[in-house]
Amino acid sequence: MADIAQADVVVTQTMDDEDYSGQRTNLMFPSIAFGNASLTYPTYGVPLPDLSKFRLKSHIKRLRIQAPLDAYIYRYDPTVRTANPVAPYGTIRMIVISSGAEFSGAIPATVLPLEIRGA
pLDDT tens figures, 9-55: 999 998 888 888 777 888 899 999 988 888 888 888 889 999 999 98
pLDDT tens figures, 49-100: 999 999 888 999 999 988 776 667 788 989 999 998 876 655 544 434 444 4
Domain count, the chain: 1
Sequence-ordered strand ranges (E) for 1-118: 2-3, 10-12, 18-19, 26-28, 31-34, 39-40, 46-47, 60-65, 72-77, 82-88, 110-118
Range of the domain at 84: 2-118
Residue 98: predicted pLDDT: 43
Residue 92: predicted pLDDT: 45
Residue 49: predicted pLDDT: 93
